[in-house]
Every structure is written in structure tokens, then in C-alpha cells.
Amino acid sequence: MAIPTEGCGSVPRPSYLLEAMGAFKDGKISKAGFDAATEKAIIETITEMEATGSSIITDGEQSKPSFATYPLDGLTNLGPDGVVIPFADGHTRQLPCLTSGPFRYSAYTGAYVAQARKHTKLRLKQAVISPSAMCLLYPESGIDGYPRETFIADLIGECVKDIRSAFDAGAEIVQIDFTEGRLACKLDPSKGLLRQFVELNNAVLDQFSDSERANIGIHTCPGGDHNSTHSADVDYSELLPDLFQMKAGRFYLQMASEIDKPRILDIIQRERQPFQTTFIGVIDPCDMNVETFDIVRDRTLEIAEHLKGERFGTTDDCGFSPFGDDIAMARATAFAKIKARVVGTALAAEKLG
Ligand SMILES: [Zn+2]
């Protein structure tokens, strides 16, 4: 049997690209200069991705400012003081806050796909931000003249447009980054917040056909930034039953860094729905050591023991640099880890016959 394997999206940006991003922001280089640096990084990334043996790749999110904020870049109706996300090592990330309506994205991911398409013949995958993350932009105190219901309707429309733009530009798979799922269990142990998130994401998924939803996935993880996480202390079993209520056909689930994998894999097998394929993490992007082919093979065989049938694949636990400025891991290490996933997964498939 062949076992499908897909990455999550991002790889660390080369230093010349990060420098160009900073210089462009400060008005020190032109748009053309910035675009040239971006194009160079995308070409280099795609060449390296192809060399890993992957059959489906991404652009490594080289030109995305971050996995969460790309649709906000350049918007003028945002303030600085939004929701703060604390990580286990003490550092934080803060979202901006919407100050007026209407809410419209400044960028749609189809543009990234179109750019990547020029440089590879391989199948392409594109990650988009979840509506449930973007809904955190709306302030608790409300906005005069722009009620929350109107914002939510606008948000659903923008998320649908974002996903459609990726498909239209040639992405075969679109992955919705839902890293706030496990965090929601921590912020609200009653699960009320998590269920609101699931409902909102389903309102977007409802706009697609069954065959389109089969190619739309949900990525979940405890957050990965500067080798730290925001919600690994929440037991996975708190998240999984509600997670699989989302009407997506694919799920990309962090697992390599979990301590008790057999217990969690059994919960996944029990809770997933018949139309859902689960891609299980066999690579830990917060670990600087490159997994050996044999480690990946053995992790994949363990997954196969617990997830019966053919509705499973392998993935990385998270992107290697979801926030654009995270360079904790060297690019070469990230690509070596991707190659280990591809080769190790194939070794497991060979063994399973
Ligand atoms: Zn992640």
C-alpha cells in the first residue's frame, strides 16, 4: 500500500529575505527589490522541496508575513492591541485588533499558489488561516456601526474567497491552519469557545461541495514558535471529539511530540468520521535533531497499527516557521526532516506490503 505524506507549509526564510522584508517595511528598498528577493527565495525553496522526494509541495510560505496575518498586511482599520497568545517559554505573540468595518482581506492565497505554479510541475498544497483565528480580531467591546454579526458574515465570505482563490490558482489541497483549537480548550475548559470555533469553520466549509471538502484539510497543533508551544499542556483528548465535527475531509494532526501516542491514536480512530483521512505527525519541528528514516518508519508502523484501513497518511507536527521571523531552525535541517518523513513513510509502506 502507498501511504500519502504531506507537509504543513512553512520552512524558515533565508536571511536575505528577512532582511529584504525589514528593509521594505522601513522604505529602504523598492517593491521591485523586495519582489526579487521573494522570487529568489521561492525558487530556492521549491528546488529544495523537490529534492526531498515529496510528491506534493508548498512554497514554504516564503512571501507570507506569517501564517495568521497575511490577509491583514497593509490594512488601515487595525489597532495594535489585540488578543495576546502566551507560549510555554514565556514569549508572547499578539494579534492586531479591528477598529472599523467592513472587514476585507488585503491578500488571498491564490496569489502565492500562482507564483509557486510557475516554478514546479509537482502537485501544490496551500495553507490558509482559519476563520476561527480571524474572528479574534473583533474586539470584545464591539465596534460602533459594525456589529459582530456583520463582521462574521464578512469574515465567512472572505475565508471562502481565500480558499477558492487557492484552488482556482492550481492548489490541489487547501489546509486550514487551526492552531487555536487546543488553545481554546485551555482558555475555556467548558468547550464553549471551541464549539463556537468549530461552528464558524463549518459555516465556511458549508460553502463547498463534498468533493471540494475532500481536498480541504484542518491542521491542529499546540502552536510552534521559537521551539515552544502554547497549549501542549492541554490533553489532546479534550480537543479531538469536537475537532472531527468539522466537515473537512483531511486532518493534519501533531503527534510526534506527544508522549502517549497509542492512547491518542485510539481516540482518533474512534472519533474520526468515515469521510475523514487523518495525516499524523511523524516529525517534530521543535526538535533540532533530524529524525532517522527508521524512526519515521517505526512511527508510521505504529500509526498503521492503531488507524485501521487506508484513511491515514503522515505529516509534520507543524510548519517549520509559521511566524515569518522564526529562524530557530536552519533551513537545511527543515529539508532534511521533510526528506526523512518522505523516505521513512515509504519504508513503512513497503513493510506493510
Ligand atoms: Zn501548527
Query: Is residue 281 scored above 90 in pLDDT?
Result: yes
Q: What is the mean pLDDT of residues 160-174?
A: 98
Question: What is residue 26's predicted lDDT score, i.e. its pLDDT?
Answer: 94
CA 102 to chain centre: 26
Identity of the residue numbered 242 = D
Distance 15 CA to ligand 1 centre (A): 22
Strand order across the beta sheet in which 173-177 lies: 56-57, 123-129, 173-177, 216-220, 250-253, 277-283, 312-316
Using alpha carbons, select from 253, 262, 267, 260 the residue that is nearest to residue 312. Answer: 253
Average pLDDT, the chain: 95
> Domains in the chain, ordered, with CATH?
15-352 (3.20.20.210)
Distance 234 CA to ligand 1 centre (A): 15
Q: What is the mean pLDDT of residues 4-16?
A: 95
Distance 282 CA to ligand 1 centre (A): 13
Whether the Cβ atoms of residue 337 and residue 293 lie closer than 8 Å to each other: no
CA distance 340 to 336: 6
pTM exceeding 0.85: yes
Query: Which tens digits make up the pLDDT trace of 170-201?
Result: 999 999 999 999 999 988 999 999 999 999 99
Query: Which tens digits make up the pLDDT trace of 58-103?
Result: 999 999 988 989 999 999 999 998 888 889 899 998 999 999 999 9
Measured torsion, CA atoms of residues 210, 349, 177, 70, in degrees rounded to the nearest 10? -110
Query: For residue 153, what are the contacts with CB-CB under 8 A and spacing of at least 6?
Result: none
Query: Which tens digits make up the pLDDT trace of 38-56?
Result: 999 999 999 999 999 999 9
Distance 215 CA to ligand 1 centre (A): 19
Distance 29 CA to ligand 1 centre (A): 32
Query: Which tens digits make up the pLDDT trace of 96-113?
Result: 999 999 999 999 999 999
Query: Is residue 224 scored above 80 in pLDDT?
Result: no
Angle between helices 236-243 and 261-271 (to 10 degrees): 20
Distance 316 CA to ligand 1 centre (A): 9
